[in-house]
Each structure stands twice: as structure tokens, then as C-alpha cells.
Chains A and B, each alone.
Chain A
Amino acid sequence: MKTYILRRILIVIPLLLVISMLSFFIMQLSPGNYLDQMRMNPDISRELIESMEEDFGLNEGIMTQYFAWLGQTLQGNLGESFSYRVPVTQIIGSRLFNTLILSLSAMVFAWVIAIPIAIYSATHRYNILDNLFSVLAFIGLSIPNFFFALLLLFLIVRYNIPLPVSGMTSVMHDFMTPREQILDILRHLIVPTIVLGSAGTATIMRQMRGQMLDVINSDYIRTARAKGLKESTVINKHAFRNAINPMITMFGLQLSSLFSGAALTEIVTGWPGLGNLMLTAVRSKDLYLAMAGLMMGSLMLVIGNLIADLLLAVNDPRIHYN
């Protein structure tokens, strides 16, 4: 097991290197750079833009720029943001934490709702509730997140539901007791969590339902039933444990999206997370800020996969890694 983990970690290094090259070059190969926004500003002279270009190292060749960045990064310095003019780690820190809160809560929301529903649907196939859940799942899958968010916000305003419309904390947050502060954040979490969780719920629900159905129809379940086991034991102990395996892989993939998957939802609900920041960074070509975000996303993907594989081994004794 230990050697397996070590090997996996060693593979990560060249992988990240390739990812970093790809992201860097793709971003640099698309036309223009960060300074283009300023070129159309009549107040900014050409000389100033040229001197900034030099300052940022944008006048160097792409290769030189890449290796300069790589060298810095290996020493733990992720570079300075062009627009903020401070090290990117300073900008990302608090945002990263906020995104993590939101994604975790959405994930918990999705799994806690989806798994019981899926088990119910699988054991009560084609009854009214199952059909209803299917319809809801398809709606959840097909509705774009930003639209769903807007819809919810609109309903909140229209029917005066006492839920916050935007942000992570209310204006009076700093004057609250710690308990109230936590409640305040939880209240703000509701809308983005539902929005972000809904798509996940739908996917997990459909997947799990299918898995359960496969398992329920298999021979060993029939054997279990024939042995005269209680139905609840058959479902919960035998069928469920077997059906959950592929879901763990899915869980690993979802882990990676913890840091990246929420940009639009974050923008619409005003959640101060990383997604919004990264989107602006990529669009304005704030090179090092965007690179830091991309690399973090990649790292999470790799780690998420690793965790999923390990969980799989824990859950299923048939799986060994040598």
C-alpha cells in the first residue's frame, strides 16, 4: 500500500509539469496580454504601457517567461498578480477557504439527499415517487446553474422569503456573537448550496439508482433473500455496499471540483469564492494569478483521484494495490 501511494505521488510530478506547460502556453498563445485593456484607455500613454510590459516581463519570449515562472514556483513563490500588484498567495488565501466551505456544503447536501432517494427509487421502481424523483433529477441535470440561481433569487425577492440574496455574511456580521455569526453564514449558504448541490444530487441519484438496480437483480442478492434474510439487511448490508463502489470514484472526481466548479454560481449569488476571481484573472490575462488557480485545480484533481482509489480499497476488500 505504501509503495503504491509513493508511486502515485511520483507520477504526479511530471503530470503537473505537463499541465503547467499546457496551461501556460495556451494562455500565452491566445492573442494579447494583460495590458490590452489599457491600450484602449486614452489616459494611458504608450510609454507607460511599454514600461509596464518590461516590468512584468511580458516582452520576453514565452519560453523565458515559462521557465522564470517555473523556477519561482519551485521555490514556493507563485509570482505577483499584474492587477493587484501583490503576491498571488495573498489574494487567493481567503477566497480559497470560502470556496471550500461552499463546495463542501454543496457536496454534503448532494450526497445526503441523493443516496437515500436513490435507494428508495431502486427498491420502488416505477411507482409515483420514483417517477417524480426521476423528473426532478432530469430538471436538476438540465437546468443551468446560473439560471437556477437567478430563479431562486427572484422567488426570494418576489415572495419576500427572509433569506439573503447575496454574499457570505450580512452587513451586521462583525457585531454578532460567534454563534450568530455561524448562523449568519449558514443562512447565506442556503441558496448557493441548493444551486450547486442540485446538479450533483441529480447525477448521484441517477447513478446510484442504476447501480442499485444492477445489484438487486444479481444472483447473490437472490441467494441472500433465499436464505431468509430480512429485506432491510439485504438492501442495506449487501446491495448497498456493493452498489457504492463506483460512487466512490465519483466522489474522488467531485473532490477535485471543490475548488473550481462554482464560478457562475458564485458570481450570481455574490459568494466571495475563488471561481469569480479566477474567471476575471483568466479573462483579463492576469497570468500568474490564473496559473496559480489552474495549478491548484489540477493538484486537487490528482489528490481527489488518489483519495478515491484509497477509499475504494478500504470499502472493498477484493481490491488490493501492490
Chain B
Amino acid sequence: MKKMVFILTIILFFNFAISTAAEDIELKDPWISQREQGNHGGTLITTLLGDPKTFNTLIAKETSSSEVIDGYIFEGLVGRNGITTEIESRLAKDWEISEDGKTYRFYLREGVKWNDGQEFTADDVIFTFDLISDKDIPTSARDGLIIDGEFPEYRKIDKYTVEFELAETFAPFLNSMTLMILPKHKLYEPWQKGNFNSTWGINTDPSEIVGTGPYKLADYRNGERIVMEKNEHYWRQDSEGKTLPYIDRWVRIIVGSQETDTLLFERGETHTLGVRGIDYNRLKQQSARSDYSIIDGGPSFSTNFLVFNMNPRNPNLEKQPWKYEWFTNLNFRRAVAYSMDKETMINQALAGQGSKQWSPISAPNQVFLNEAVKKYPYNLEKAREELKKGGFSWDDNGRLIDQDGRKVEFNILTNAGNETRETLLNIIATELRELGMKINSNPIDFNRLISHMESDWDYDSVLIGLTGGVEPHAGANVWPSHGHLHMWNPVQEEAATEWEARIDELFKKGVSTVETEERVKYYNEFQEIVAEQLPVIYTVTPNNIYAVRDQLKNTETTAYGGVLWNIYELYLEN
């Protein structure tokens, strides 16, 4: 009997010791909100346009997954500010970059906890990079980290310090460090067993999904909603020292269509809405006597551009070799650029809510955007002049002919079902017909379009778009001549033209220094070259417009971050 008591005492003691040990982890470096002190509590309701496909952030490829988890449930060592787009601290409170730009040392916030109460340490960071470097895990995170074919070396210095050593100076490395850190204590076992790729699928018990972000998953009903609850252990605090976020629960309703999304907002059932161009005027009028405001975040990262096939390997050239001559003729491309009626495009395709795009860097990218690039304002007279300079002329019926008297006729493809692009295509075709060209506009299935562009190389021209980002090197698959998305002439062994060679060089130089000012210079020149040479001809980009209930406070809405980028310091007024 005595023995029992003794054992019990020991057990109790150990339990006590263990529980106090967990309590002992003290957050050494909280982040303190500078915004207005709000009240805690409440439920935020927003919408999602699609179901997540997985909660495993490394495997996730679609935005429908990443917009649920990245930044909200998981966080990176660093992240980007929602307003300035600059890199700022997250799980790492600070970092040092060596003189030669090859060694990065990150100092982690001490005492940060995963949302299940376990402490976050350097081991988790090392574990995450073990995962990323594992070739059996299909993750695009690895691509961003491989420099000259080598994965950087990484090591733990102590419990709160990690160090990376790169083979070469590589400026976008810090951008790659925004990738999400995963918990070793939850994922080590599945990884060892070889089923990491199917771990954290959509049917996982929500409490299994552990991150450091402001929210944790509480419930997911397939096709209906995701419910997230405040992470009680979060490392951000309000000015009174209480743990953020303010809002206790966050419900994200999965709506099937944008129409339903808008209706839900108008009924007052949700707090925010991404406004479509066609709803803008109506909602704007209503907002004056309603409890919400409309905020124009400015141009978004999405692009729409026209690209001509300048690939000498185009199989159609056997029959029509002259097309190569036309499309590689700079005057021809300039004429097309001058005939882009961007005002009409904005009014008709984007319901008035868009911006003109001139540079390959998207407008919200305040650090790298070069506003001084050559612009081609709508002017058919100038377009005709350019055509004349390029050796084109017109026959008696006003049809455009080239030097050898051939009528200028070509196809423009775009992906069917994308209303904006179909409208843009119509406007472009109308203007080019005005110049005497014969245009066959042809919206086709997306998959067919991709095979024309990616593997068959047999198209004339395509109206398509790519989504940009803040780091210009993200275009490394597009702009350098060896890139597989170098659409006009992909995967070249050696740059076909001088200006392409220069862009190759600029992209190499752009990563070879960590000084932002110097990088800006290289990327400015790159933007000038693209605007000068017009391998792609930009059209218009939609603006990101949001409707936000006045009840939701502390918001500062931008095209880059949306409404919710600082969700941890938003609060609901009673």
C-alpha cells in the first residue's frame, strides 16, 4: 500500500513537473501591434471560391489550398508586409546576411508555441528543410531553393538559431524563406513511414493540423465551410499585452460562384467581398447608405498579354515561312502595340475597373516597378507608320500586305471560357482589322492552348496571362531564353537575339547581389528592354476591389494583401 502511494506521488510529481515545464516556455520576443486597441471576441465570416485540396502546404499547388493555410495556419521565418511588400520578420525575429551574400543566419523568436502547445525551435526549421530537399516530395518550394543545381546547406547553431550556406550569392533566397515551417513533432513519423505526401489531406482530424499561425483549423465541412479558431499561443500581442488575434472565430464559407458570393455579402451575412467589375457601380451606390465601404486596392498581379510566335522551330513555318518574318519584325510588333485600345478594354472587358499595363513587372510591386518604360498609347496613325517602316503596305482594297505582296493574315488564340480574355481578344482583333490585317480570333480549350504553346510551338499568336509576384526572379522560367515559359521562343540553347542575351545576363546579375538598389537597376533595364522589344504586348489588368463592412476595424486594404493580410490585428466593433 505504501509502495502504491509512493508511486502515485511520483507520478503526480512528474505530471506536475511536465505540465509546469510546458507552462515555463515563455514568449521572449512578442510582436506588439501598433494599431488601435480593439476588443477581443466575435466571429468573422468571409468566403472562399473553392475547396482546399489539401492542408499539406508543401504539396498544395492550387491557390484554393494555399489561401486557406498559408500565413493563417502556417508561417514562414520571414514574410512580406501587406502594404509595402517588403520582407519582414515572422518566426525569425531577425537575420544576418554575410558580406558575400552566401551565409544567412536566422534568429528565431524564443518561446513561440505551435497551436498544440509544443515549443517551436530550430529543429522544426531543420525538419522543414529536410522535407523540402527530399526528392520524393513533389514540392515547388525546392525549385526556388536550388541554386546552380545545388540545394543550400543548412544547419542548426543552437535551439534558436539556424544558418544557411549557399554555393553562390543568390538574392531571392530571402524571398524563398517566406515558405511555411512545419512541425517536426507531428510530421516526422509520417515522413519516415513514407506517406508524407498523403498526410494532412482534407479528411484529417482538424486538431492534427498544427501550425504557428494566428488561427488553427477547428472544422472543415467539404463543400460548405472551414471554421478556424484563434491560436491561444500566438506570438503577436495587442498594446495591452494580450495575445492576438482579436477575433476568436473565423468562418470561411465555400461558395460555388461569384454571384452567390455577392448575394451573401449584400444580405449582410459576410464581412468582406472581392467585388467584380460588373457589380462595382451598384455596390458603390448602395454603400453610401449601407454599413460597408468599397475600397479600390489598385491594379492586381494578374496580367493579360499578346505574344507572337517567334520560334524558328515552328512546324508551320515549312508552309508559311513568312510568318516568322512578320512576327520577328519589331515594327510589326510595335504597330500591334500602338493599336491596343486600352481605354476600351478597361471599359468593356473590366467594367471600368482596371489599369493599363506597360511593364513586365506588375504594378503593385512597388520595389521593382519601372514606370519610365516606353509606352505605346493607342494611336492607329503611329501603328500605320510603324508598319510602313517595317516594309508593309496596303493594296487597293485597304488590305495589309508584306514586301512580297502577301496578305497579312494570322490566328490569335486564347483560352475559351475566360470572359475577360474573350472580350479583350475581340477588341484587339477589331483594331488590327482596322489596320488591314485579317485576324482569325479563336478561343480554344485551355489544355489545347497549353499544348500549342508548350510542346507543339505551332501557333501564330496567343492572348494569355501569367500571375506575377513581388520577387522579379520568379520570372526566371519566363524571361531568360532557356526558360520553358519563354513563350515566344522557349528552351533556347543559346539566346537567339542580342536583347534576349542581355536579359539572360540581367537575370543572372539580378540575383548576384543582395543590395536591393543594385538589383533595382538590373531589373529596370530588363523592363526597358521588354517594353522596347515587345516579345509580349501587355494589355490591361483588373483592379482588386473590395467591399468591407464598417464593423471590421483596423483594416488597411491593398491589392497585394487584400483585406485580411493583417487578420491578427483586425477586430469587430460591437
Q: Which of A275-309 contact B (CB under 8 A)?
A: 276-277, 280, 285
The answer on a CB contact under 8 Å between A85 and B197 is yes
Contacts of A33 in B (CB 8 A): 447
Question: CB of B423 within 8 A of chain A?
Answer: no
Partner of A85, one of B59, B142, B267, B454: B59
A interface, how many residues as a size bin?
35 or more
The answer on a CB contact under 8 Å between B253 and A167 is yes
Partner of A51, one of B138, B447, B464: B138
Mark A178-212 against chain B: 1 for CB-CB distance below 8 A, else 0: 00000000000000000000000000000000000
Known: A44-B140, A167-B224, A167-B253. A36 touches B53 (CB 8 A): no
Contacts of A55 in B (CB 8 A): 138
The answer on a CB contact under 8 Å between A270 and B256 is yes
Question: CB of A124 within 8 A of chain B?
Answer: no
Question: CB of B573 within 8 A of chain A?
Answer: no
Contacts of A272 in B (CB 8 A): 221-224, 254
In Å, the complex CA distance between A55 and B197 comes to 12
Contacts of B219 in A (CB 8 A): 174
Known: A157-B263, A268-B260. A44 touches B61 (CB 8 A): yes
The answer on a CB contact under 8 Å between B140 and A43 is yes
Question: CB of B474 within 8 A of chain A?
Answer: yes
Known: A36-B446, A42-B477. A86 touches B256 (CB 8 A): no
Mark A65-83 against chain B: 1 for CB-CB distance below 8 A, else 0: 0000000000000001001
User: Of A14-22, A88-96, A112-120, A229-237, which binds chain B?
Assistant: A88-96
Question: CB of A165 within 8 A of chain B?
Answer: yes
In Å, the complex CA distance between A306 and B221 comes to 34
A40 to chain B: closest CB distance in Å? Answer: 6
The answer on a CB contact under 8 Å between A84 and B256 is no
Mark A245-273 against chain B: 1 for CB-CB distance below 8 A, else 0: 00000000000000000000011111111
Contacts of B45 in A (CB 8 A): 171
The answer on a CB contact under 8 Å between A31 and B203 is no
The answer on a CB contact under 8 Å between B475 and A42 is yes
In Å, the complex CA distance between A91 and B53 comes to 10
A33 to chain B: closest CB distance in Å? Answer: 8
Contacts of A42 in B (CB 8 A): 466, 474-478, 485
Mark B245-269 against chain A: 1 for CB-CB distance below 8 A, else 0: 0000001011111011001101101
The answer on a CB contact under 8 Å between A169 and B224 is yes
The answer on a CB contact under 8 Å between B450 and A169 is no
The answer on a CB contact under 8 Å between A95 and B202 is no
A44 to chain B: closest CB distance in Å? Answer: 5
Mark B497-523 against chain A: 1 for CB-CB distance below 8 A, else 0: 000000000000000000000000000
Partner of B54, one of A84, A156, A280: A84
The answer on a CB contact under 8 Å between A166 and B222 is no
What are the 8 closest A-B residue pairs judged by CB atoms, nearest first?
Answer: A272-B223, A32-B447, A267-B256, A86-B201, A45-B143, A36-B450, A31-B448, A83-B53
12 extra interface residue pairs, beta carbon distance < 8 Å, beyond A84-B53, A95-B223, A171-B251: A32-B450, A40-B485, A48-B138, A84-B54, A153-B260, A165-B264, A166-B253, A166-B256, A166-B263, A167-B224, A168-B224, A270-B254
14 examples of A-B residue contacts, CB within 8 angstroms: A45-B143, A45-B477, A46-B484, A51-B138, A84-B202, A85-B54, A90-B201, A91-B222, A153-B259, A166-B253, A166-B256, A167-B253, A267-B257, A268-B260
